[in-house]
A and B are shown apart, each in its own frame.
Chain A
Amino acid sequence: MEIGLIVLAAMLATLLGWILKQSFNTQPWLAEVVDETANQAPFNARPKLVALTAFLAVVTSFFALILSAYSLRMELGDWIPLTEPQLLWVNTGVLVLASVAFQWTRNIAVREATPRLMPGLLLSGVLTMVFLAGQWIAWQQLNASGQYMTSNPSNAFFFLLTGIHGLHILGGMYVWARATVKAFGGDVDAVRHSVELCTIYWHFLLLVWLVLFGLMLST
């Protein structure tokens, strides 16, 4: 459970530190003193960004807990390390490229509302679909070589982790698809914020994948 604990502790410490910073040295019972600050915003208001950040914290907790389970389960006698398909290296490269493509799109989108962001948007989506297809093929390769999900706990975790990671990417693809449809409908301005948020989400899922992949390779 150490992994889960450390990750959670880090997230909680960040949050609590922020709250304490807000609350130290305030004297809430004094009406006048705080009135001077009454017109200040809590901080830059971007509800979707805040909600996404909170959601990423939830997902972090989710994966950290599965990894805790992984590390506990690994120590038991029936664990046989799985040899991961070489294809995963290609898939990892494709996911990195998808992230890069999103970053490129985002850099255009934050500057101005221009149709020039469309190629990047399309490219990111296509690369991500290639990644998902690659993961699917990796599953098929394993099954073809007789490595089923139930053959061994390490296999079970492999399919579980890649599956859940893939589902999260699919969720991102839903937002991407909506943004793309909108952008092709001519409303480029409306998708700029979506592109920004998608980029953060894609980088995050790339990071999650690198951690998962690294852990599975090393065990």
Chain B
Amino acid sequence: MGYVAIADRDHEIEHHDPQTFITKYVWSQDHKVIAIQYGVTAIFVGLIALGLSAMMRLQLGFPDSFSFINPENYYQFITMHGMIMVIYLLTALFLGGFGNYLIPLMCGSRDMVFPFLNMLSYWVYLLSVIILIASFFVPGGSTGAGWTLYPPQAILPGTPGVDWGILLMLASLAVFIVAFTMGGLNYVTTVLQARCRGMTLMRMPLSVWGIFIATILGLLAFPALLVSAIMMLLDKTIATSFFMPAISSMGVDPGYTGGSPILFQHLFWFFGHPEVYIVALPAFGIVSDLLSTHARKNIFGYRMMVWAIIAIGGLSFIVWAHHMYVSGMNPYFGFFFATTTLIIAVPTAIKVYNWVLTLWEGNIHLRVPMLFAIAFIFTFIHGGLTGLFLGNVTIDLPLSDTYFVVAHFHMVMGVSPVLVVFGAIYHWWPKITGRMYHEGLGKWHFWMTFLGTYSIYLPMHYLGFAGVPRRYFAMGNTEFLPESAQDLNAWITMSALFVAATQVLFFINVIWSLKKGPKADPNPWDATTLEWQTPDNPPKHGNWGHELPECHRWAYDYSVPGYKDDFIPQNVPASDAAPAGRDHGVEH
């Protein structure tokens, strides 16, 4: 019974009830406010990354037409765009934002188990963002080493930002990892220790499962990035030779003795590949809940969905070297990593089938969140299939470092998670703000974003097959590329600018909703999960008023035969929900 005492902390709630504006909105220990702080900060840096990608596209689509883009800052744009999107936007938004908001509400707890640590986690994250942004303004600008920061070039003269940019980048990553670890320990402990009565692990919504397993991956994988960041900092500042080979740089001997750049690649991708799933697993979980809710059907194969998340999480640690097929590795290693990579397709395919089967014969409501969720299935299958190409050594070798790779990872871990982010924001907006968004505007936003992104990334596959290399500032006089490649690049650029511009619709919607949006029903989607059953909308500090909810069923009792309503919330006891008095549930 000990855990009830932890979860039911009435006395503490009264103790740190927010008193002033500062404690309520700035130094807040309320998981919902911290979630919003995380979300707003992440979206803010995400907009910077969006702006950087627009600059890159301007150069690629219309080479040498813009005097403010030169090779140096082009590389800085690429690097910062990638780094921000993967780490400071997606990781922070899914785990710091949605993790913070959803875990306590969906598990029926009052808050995270360590609210102070949670607050600290956000402020340290903000510090890492400030260090990151500061690197734009130091002499020499931010680093231009590519988001993978491969040595030796990352810290040798000739790479932009070699004096200060790379130092701030590595420092910012280290600070981010500290922030993430503080948050991550909180999320794991909250899921394990602070669930309300009756919320067994197998009754948790898949959103919580996805965030939970992704957090575990992050906790175990981010140390690899921390190790490589520390070692590279030492190589840069005091000239140790962890990664730096005996090398002559521009005729000068920088004094390195014979380190291994490949060692860095191993460490980096030991983090880098799980990172893909740190972003993808929360998206998998959230999209499962959106599909089930808006199709009015229980998720197909709940247990398989949980085990697939766990299997993907485990497998994600033994595929990292498929990012290094061209590093000259032993062919047997390549064979091993190709095999493990293809094995991941099995649990992933289970998930895709189950999403589609959840839609099968569902009572589908094509509201904005549902549109984004279904679009995710498209883009994810698309990106997943090109992953099968790249996972095979023989096909990867010619395609490596071409636009095919760019298209692949943007579809699978750029567009797909971002679609889920939008779907999730629209879905939980009425709970977060207590107001509805504009449905029509939301649909316009969806269609323009969805079709626009296809218009960007579909042609890139063709460019990749044609052999257009990624990361190049300009193609020069490349004999093997047809003229049409440039036309395609111009088209992609126009699509990219169009998609970037249409995001304005989202922000108009946000402002409109906050100012004039109609008051939202506490449970506008007739959803079953606990966050929609709070006594206040939006929930107050402490979430549940005087009494904690009790969980009596799983999260997917939609359209249960024999019941008046097509949903039964998780906190409705079995006896209260049976108007027809029949033994329900057996038909499933």
Q: Which residues of A contact B (CB under 8 A)?
A: 1, 4-5, 8-9, 11-12, 15-16, 19-20, 22-23, 26, 28-32, 34-35, 37-39, 41-42, 44-47, 50-51, 54-55, 57-58, 61-62, 65-66, 68-69, 72-73, 76-78, 149-150, 152-153, 156, 160, 164
Contact = CB atoms under 8 A, between A and B. Distances in A.
B4 A41 contact: yes
Interface string B70-91: 0000000000000000000000
Contacts of B556: 29
Given A50-B189, A78-B257, 5 more contacts: A4-B270, A28-B303, A31-B557, A44-B2, A150-B240
B234 interface: yes
Interface of B: 1-6, 113-114, 181, 184-186, 188-189, 192-195, 197-198, 200-203, 216, 219-221, 223-224, 226-227, 230-231, 234, 238-242, 246, 257-260, 263, 266-267, 270, 298, 302-303, 306-307, 310, 313-314, 317-318, 550-554, 556-557, 568, 573-574, 577, 584-586, 588
A42 B554 contact: no
Nearest to B238: A150
A196 to B, nearest CB: 15
A37 B200 contact: yes
Nearest to A11: B220
Interface centre among A11, A12, A22, by most chain B C-beta atoms within 10 angstroms, is: A12
Contacts of B239: 150
B242 A73 contact: yes
B193 A65 contact: no
Contacts of B554: 28-29, 31
Contact of A51 (B114, B266, B568): B114
B242 A29 contact: no
Contacts of B577: 31
Nearest to B188: A54
A31 B270 contact: no
A65 B2 contact: no
A72 to B, nearest CB: 5
A29 B303 CA distance: 10
A28 B224 CA distance: 37
Given A31-B584, A35-B574, A45-B2, A22 B270 contact: no
Contacts of A51: 113-114, 185-186, 188-189
A51 B187 CA distance: 10
A19 B226 CA distance: 28
A2 to B, nearest CB: 11
27 contacts: A9-B317, A12-B314, A15-B216, A22-B202, A28-B302, A29-B554, A29-B557, A29-B588, A31-B574, A31-B584, A31-B585, A34-B200, A39-B197, A45-B3, A50-B193, A58-B223, A61-B219, A61-B221, A65-B224, A65-B227, A65-B267, A69-B242, A73-B242, A76-B258, A150-B241, A156-B234, A160-B231
A203 B114 CA distance: 24
A28 B585 CA distance: 10
B510 to A, nearest CB: 35
Contacts of A72: 260, 263, 266
Contacts of B219: 54, 57-58, 61
Contact of B242 (A20, A22, A23, A156): A156
Contacts of A58: 181, 185, 219-220, 223
Contacts of B552: 31, 35, 38
Contacts of B216: 15
A153 B242 contact: yes
B574 A23 contact: no
A19 B223 contact: no
Nearest to B269: A1
A77 B113 CA distance: 50
A65 B195 CA distance: 33
B238 A149 contact: yes
A46 B241 contact: no
B307 A78 contact: no
A144 to B, nearest CB: 18
Top-6 shortest CB links A-B: A45-B3, A38-B198, A62-B223, A78-B258, A45-B2, A31-B553
Contacts of B313: 12
Contacts of A149: 234, 238, 240
A41 B8 CA distance: 13
A50 B556 CA distance: 29
Given A66-B227, A160-B231, A55 B240 contact: no
Nearest to A29: B588
A54 B187 CA distance: 11
A23 B201 contact: yes
A19 B201 contact: yes
Given A45-B6, A153-B242, A156-B241, A57 B220 contact: yes
A16 B310 contact: yes
Contact of A29 (B258, B263, B318, B585): B585
A26 B202 contact: yes
Interface centre among A29, A62, A77, by most chain B C-beta atoms within 10 angstroms, is: A29
B260 A73 contact: yes
A69 B223 contact: no
B202 A28 contact: yes
Contacts of A54: 184-185, 188-189, 219
Contacts of A68: 266-267
B201 A47 contact: no
Contacts of B198: 34-35, 38-39
Contact of B551 (A19, A38, A45): A38
Nearest to A67: B227
Contacts of A57: 219-220
Contacts of B202: 22-23, 26, 28
Contact of B200 (A5, A15, A20, A26): A26
Contact of A153 (B197, B203, B257, B557): B257
A1 B266 CA distance: 8
A15 B557 CA distance: 29
A198 to B, nearest CB: 17
Contacts of A41: 1-4
Contacts of B197: 38-39
